[in-house]
Amino acid sequence: MTLAVCTACGQYKFGALVRCERCSHLPVTALDKAKAMTVSDHNFGGETLEEFKNLIEAGTELPYDPVSLASSSAPFQEEAYFEENFDFTNGMLSCKRCNCPFEPTNEEVFCPRCMEEANPLLSVCMSCDKVYDSSGNFCQKCGNRLIQRSERRALEVGREIAVSVRRILSNKDPLEQCEFLLQLRGQLPSEDLASSQHEFENFAMYTAVMALRQFVESGELLVAIVKEMVEIYRASFVIQGVREVDSQQIPVLYMRRFDEYDRVVARNPDQWMLLLADTVTKNCYGVERHLKAAMEMVL
Ligand SMILES: [Zn+2]
Ligand SMILES: [Zn+2]
Ligand SMILES: [Zn+2]
């Protein structure tokens, strides 16, 4: 049984999604449910949960990571979509992606065609590690029989990668390596800091895309995974207060940056890391200002 902390009052409870006995809080929205799951022994040990309990009881807002929240609320959002739109009289649902009506067999929210296109089950080749959607039975590279990953789907992988990129960045700030830059950064206005952070996030996501390309042969499958990764970042901005309608621009900006990086890599595939680092530096206001300030100090 899951040990969880009530996100409203800090009381311990068994089951993250149940009503709190002390304050009657019940997680209802997808975001509330994601928060409730976060503050449970699914994610943290007893000592950390105790710390969270104390923080909540003291009235402090927990430092939820918006990207993790976006990722863990995505399945709850699908659940909510199903509950709101499923027609009990005829057993039909409009597909969440293309709107066409279909008969779900397992509370899925995508019609069979969209499922195949946007959220296919994954298969792997055990001998060369390539990942495929489950439409074929054999590896296109070595001809071995593929093993189907039971219930591993493209969207889930995209969500996990979004969270991993975020974790890597929050555990290892690239600028922190250099004390000099760190000092200079302390003097930057917060807008520049934010855009520099975004650029690094963009770059880290692109690096994840490059890594995925080694494993994923099919362009369509790669796109399905990458789109979901980017979608999680869009949703994380909504969680941070960006309006839904404004957030629609965010995936476009990410994809544009990926194209830009692609063109840089294509110029010299052997030295793409160096070239890309240069481009990222130029794009990244924070770093550019850092370097300018550094040059001025040296000259
Ligand atoms: Zn409570
Ligand atoms: Zn559909
Ligand atoms: Zn193979």
The percent of residues in the chain predicted with pLDDT above 90, rounded, is 53
Asked whether residue 25 is assigned to any structural domain, the reply reads yes
Q: Please identify, among 45, 64, 83, the residue that sits at the C-terminal boundary of a domain.
A: 64
- pLDDT given for residue 190 in this prediction: 74
- pLDDT given for residue 261 in this prediction: 87
Q: Please identify, among 64, 91, 107, the residue that sits at the C-terminal boundary of a domain.
A: 64
How far is ligand 3, taken at its centre, from the CA of residue 222, in Å? 17
Give per-residue burial for 203-235: e unless 16+ CB within 10 Å, then b: bbbbebbbebeebbbbeebbebbbbbbbbbbbb
Asked whether residue 74 is assigned to any structural domain, the reply reads no
Contacts 24+ apart (CB under 8 A), 101-109: 107/79, 107/82, 109/78, 109/81, 109/82
Segment (H or E) for 62: none
The residue ranking higher by pLDDT, 273 or 227, is 227
- pLDDT given for residue 65 in this prediction: 92
- pLDDT given for residue 285 in this prediction: 52
How far is ligand 1, taken at its centre, from the CA of residue 53, in Å? 10
| Average of per-residue pLDDT values in the chain | 86
Q: For residue 245, what are the CA distances in angstroms to 186, 201, 237, 252, 286?
A: 33, 22, 11, 13, 28
- Predicted confidence (pLDDT) at residue 150 exceeds the cutoff of 70: no
How far is ligand 1, taken at its centre, from the CA of residue 49, in Å? 14
How far is ligand 3, taken at its centre, from the CA of residue 216, in Å? 11
**Closest among 21, 19, 14 to 32, alpha carbons compared:** 19
- Predicted confidence (pLDDT) at residue 9 exceeds the cutoff of 60: yes
Q: Are residues 175 and 278 in the same domain?
A: yes
Asked whether residue 70 is assigned to any structural domain, the reply reads no
Asked whether residue 93 is assigned to any structural domain, the reply reads no
70-118: pLDDT as tens digits: 999 999 999 999 999 999 999 999 999 999 999 999 899 999 999 988 8
Q: How confident is the model at residue 284 (pLDDT cuts 50, 70, 90)?
A: low
- Predicted confidence (pLDDT) at residue 294 exceeds the cutoff of 80: no
Q: Please identify, among 64, 90, 105, the residue that sits at the C-terminal boundary of a domain.
A: 64
- pLDDT given for residue 48 in this prediction: 93
Q: Are residues 283 and 166 in the same domain?
A: yes
Query: Rounded CA gap, 132 and 148, in Å?
Result: 9
Chain position carrying tokens 């189907």: 148
CB burial class (10 A; 0-12, 13-18, 19+) of residue 39?
A: buried
What's the domain range around 276? Answer: 151-298
Q: How confident is the model at residue 35 (pLDDT cuts 50, 70, 90)?
A: very high
187-219: pLDDT as tens digits: 767 777 777 777 778 888 888 888 888 889 888
Q: Are residues 48 and 175 in the same domain?
A: no
Q: Are residues 269 and 164 in the same domain?
A: yes
- pLDDT given for residue 147 in this prediction: 85
- pLDDT given for residue 178 in this prediction: 60
How far is ligand 2, taken at its centre, from the CA of residue 239, in Å? 26
How far is ligand 2, taken at its centre, from the CA of residue 120, in Å? 13
The residue ranking higher by pLDDT, 140 or 180, is 140
With vertex at residue 129, the alpha carbon angle to CA 123 and CA 133, rounded to the nearest 5 degrees, is 25
Asked whether residue 182 is assigned to any structural domain, the reply reads yes
Asked whether residue 272 is assigned to any structural domain, the reply reads yes
- Predicted confidence (pLDDT) at residue 182 exceeds the cutoff of 60: yes
Asked whether residue 39 is assigned to any structural domain, the reply reads yes
Q: Are residues 164 and 282 in the same domain?
A: yes
How far is ligand 3, taken at its centre, from the CA of residue 127, in Å? 5
Q: Are residues 163 and 24 in the same domain?
A: no
Asked whether residue 238 is assigned to any structural domain, the reply reads yes
Phi, psi of 40 (to 5 degrees): -145, 170
Ligand nearest to the CA of residue 138, numbered in listed order? 3
Q: Are residues 161 and 33 in the same domain?
A: no
How far from each other are the two terminal CA atoms of the chain, in whole angstroms?
64
How far is ligand 3, taken at its centre, from the CA of residue 146, in Å? 8
How far is ligand 2, taken at its centre, from the CA of residue 107, in Å? 14
Count: domains in the chain:
2
